[in-house]
């Protein structure tokens, strides 16, 4: 009874790829921005902060439309990027961009809290042992932030899997290119007799989410123990 068509498998594989790529690409930016927000004071910080959290509160359709205006084929940056071979519109990369933008506030939030919780006295200790600021960050701050990074990455991954509004607005719903699990379920519920197939995808979505949660719990606990010197 549980057999998926090639088309459905495609949607599952695409979802996983989009979620993984968007999370992986967003992660270094998320860490950098979380660090700046946690540690630096500068004029306009409140504004920057608000801008980063915007996708969390804006209707996803609005975010998707803004992405279309900015990165569409005739968009603000889209044309210039296309001339160097980077195209987002109606491509899976565009879906990844939309997911990354939507997940970014969650990623930054989790990592920022974790950086703020790092005991800065350990950084002093590193300095007396000869570590400059870069090495201190890489060998002390970052490892002590690891539980927050894992939590943030899982949140971002889950958010990317569930993304619908921004993606469908920005890159549409093209099977094999931009049709993720969510979009496929939506499409299946719109056609007669698609209910069973939709149910299959729903079950897969639940399974993927469960595996992600259990894995993050496990990694998080290990990282947490390490951070506490156990």
Q: Which residue ranges make up the site for another protein (CB under 8 A)?
A: 121-122, 124-132, 135-136, 139-140, 143-144, 146, 226-230
How far is it, in rounded angstroms, from Cα 186 to Cα 20? 22
Nearer to another protein, 65 or 122 (CB): 122
Nearer to another protein, 22 or 141 (CB): 141
Rounded to the nearest whole angstrom, what is the least distance from the CB of residue 38 to another protein in the complex? 18
Largest interatomic CA distance in the chain? 70
Nearer to another protein, 106 or 227 (CB): 227
Rounded to the nearest whole angstrom, what is the least distance from the CB of residue 146 to another protein in the complex? 8
Rounded to the nearest whole angstrom, what is the least distance from the CB of residue 226 to another protein in the complex? 5
Q: Where are the alpha helices (DSSP H) in 40-174?
A: 45-57, 60-71, 78-83, 92-117, 121-128, 133-136, 142-162, 165-171
Contact of 189 with 195, CB cutoff 8 Å: yes
How far is it, in rounded angstroms, from Cα 91 to Cα 86? 10
Nearer to another protein, 44 or 229 (CB): 229
Contact of 22 with 156, CB cutoff 8 Å: yes
Rounded to the nearest whole angstrom, what is the least distance from the CB of residue 67 to another protein in the complex? 38
């Amino acid at each position: 009874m549980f057999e998926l068509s090639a088309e459905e498998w495609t949607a599952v594989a695409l979802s996983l790829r989009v979620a993984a790529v968007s999370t992986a690409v967003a992660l270094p930016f998320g860490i950098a921005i979380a660090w700046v927000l946690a540690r630096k004071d500068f004029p306009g910080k409140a504004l920057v902060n608000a801008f980063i959290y915007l996708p969390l509160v804006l209707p996803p359709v609005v975010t998707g439309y803004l992405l279309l205006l900015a990165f569409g084929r005739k968009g603000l940056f889209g044309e210039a990027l296309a001339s160097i071979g980077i195209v987002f519109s109606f491509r899976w990369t565009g879906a990844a961009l939309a997911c990354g933008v939507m997940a970014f506030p969650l990623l930054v939030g989790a990592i920022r809290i974790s950086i703020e919780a790092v005991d800065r006295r350990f950084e002093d200790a590193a300095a007396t042992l000869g570590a400059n600021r870069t090495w201190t960050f890489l060998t002390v701050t970052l490892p002590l932030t690891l539980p927050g990074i894992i939590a943030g990455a899982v949140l971002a991954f889950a958010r990317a899997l569930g993304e619908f509004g921004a993606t469908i607005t920005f890159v549409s719903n093209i099977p094999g290119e931009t049709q993720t699990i969510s979009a496929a379920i939506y499409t299946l519920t719109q056609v007669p007799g698609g209910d069973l197939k939709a149910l299959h995808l729903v079950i897969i979505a639940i399974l993927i989410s469960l595996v992600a949660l259990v894995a993050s719990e496990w990694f998080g606990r290990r990282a947490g123990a390490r951070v506490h010197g156990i």
